[in-house]
Structure 1
């Protein structure tokens, strides 16, 4: 078997006092990068529940492939801000701010998503055509309608963007309910170290939780934190999280799988003679030792 020099797996790390109720395999922010997704899934055991934290689409070349695979895996999916931006273009009856269509299509990579969808439809995928004559695969409708706002498993809270400290959080119920939809926690980002998961746990539904989120591109040295994990490391490096409870379901252990991603852009490091092996080792060491990585 050929060694995959583009992918690494960390050792296991223990978390005291927090545990999911079952073993989970978690991914986030794949942004149409199906090849990177496939490399991460080589480390999936085939039995754990798959959880996806949102932003399957945009920027990368194969949004259709990512969405299709998530449905095949029967993944528990959380709505990301990129899926939210797509709603106004694909479901014109859901008008939120009346400017999402150009922002999604031109700035946030929606054009790549529509290209991927068009290719799939040309090759025979079932599709929906909206009143503006925009066509999109039916499986994207299936995907969107199964997306949740969050997932609480034991006392591990999974969200797209995370939640702030010391605030009561009210998540949305139905993204198609325009009058009552609140998208605040699709966009939230920590402002500096004090708002990360470093110093105290979040409180959700009256209990302390260990938080796992995506959305904010995070230096690998900040991925592992005392009270949570920030799993999105941007376009160059894609991560997956494998997390499982101990026998008493009071503590847990986890490890991270990382793979380089070439589908959006190549890292500038290659321009300066950095090899794949050195870059992968740099990212792995940064995550394991919680060292700020200067390669991104």
Structure 2
């Protein structure tokens, strides 16, 4: 059985992330981990989170896919002039800068800038925030994929696939809403770091959730 694990928003919480990776690797001997974005800001150690993600899996039996979240967009935009630096700093950038000692290495900025916005497989769509119905999947904007929000209870058809995302935090997450799973367990706000486990051969929602406390 082939498995995919989708991990929600980390926000600089290195200890829960490391414990979640250990739980995932104990769950199966091999598989794929999709990190759903928002690795930086608000939490205590964004630098260590980015360093660990750049290092990648410790075994060739595992594949990691790291998607871009809106906080990576704010951070890189603050550095290249697309966004106001004050906007990023007011939304957790101060904590990120502190973890880096005041300046981010160029290689970390390049890595964050190059992150993909979406990952799809036979049965599922993985994005940071969501998709906008009424557009073809290939016509989704980067802004929608990183920034859109869903109200509780909302579900759609999503081109016959199950939608997996983070971005909208709640201590009640992870939760399934019809054809949609929200994996943002509000870890940085005192909730949980969450992971949804999917059987790659079976359509629909997760077969199980894994969670760790901050």
Unaligned runs of 5+ in 1: 1-20, 119-133, 173-181, 262-296
Unaligned runs of 5+ in 2: 58-63
Residue in structure 2 matched with residue 40 of structure 1 by the alignment: 20
Deviations 1:176-210 (A, max 9, x none): xxxxxx523311111353xx23xx4222xxxx110
The Cα RMSD (Å) is 2.4
Please state whether the residue corresponding to 1:229 is helix, strand or coil.
strand
Computing the radius of gyration from Cα coordinates, the structure with the larger value is 1
Candidates 140, 144, 154, aligned match of 2:108: 140
Residue in structure 2 matched with residue 256 of structure 1 by the alignment: 209
CA spacing shift, 1:242–1:138, aligned 2, 3 Å: farther
- Does residue 1:55 correspond to 2:44, yes or no? no
CA spacing shift, 1:168–1:137, aligned 2, 3 Å: same
Residue in structure 2 matched with residue 183 of structure 1 by the alignment: 143
Aligned length: 201
Residue in structure 2 matched with residue 291 of structure 1 by the alignment: none
CA distance in 2, matches of 1:135, 1:221: 33
- Does residue 1:85 correspond to 2:53, yes or no? no
Residue pair 2:76, 2:109 contacting (<8 A) in 1 also: no
CA distance in 1, matches of 2:107, 2:2: 27
What is the correspondence of 1:1-296 to structure 2 with a 5 Å cutoff?
22-45=2-25, 47-73=30-56, 75-92=64-81, 95=82, 98=83, 100-105=84-89, 107-118=90-101, 135-169=103-137, 170-172=139-141, 182-193=142-153, 196-197=154-155, 200-203=156-159, 208-220=160-172, 223-234=175-186, 235-236=189-190, 237-246=192-201, 254-261=207-214
Shift of 1:76: 1.1
CA spacing shift, 1:253–1:53, aligned 2, 3 Å: closer
Residue pair 1:156, 1:209 contacting (<8 A) in 2 also: yes
TM-score normalised to structure 2 length: 0.82
Shift of 1:219: 4.7
CA spacing shift, 1:245–1:185, aligned 2, 3 Å: closer
Shift of 1:242: 2.2
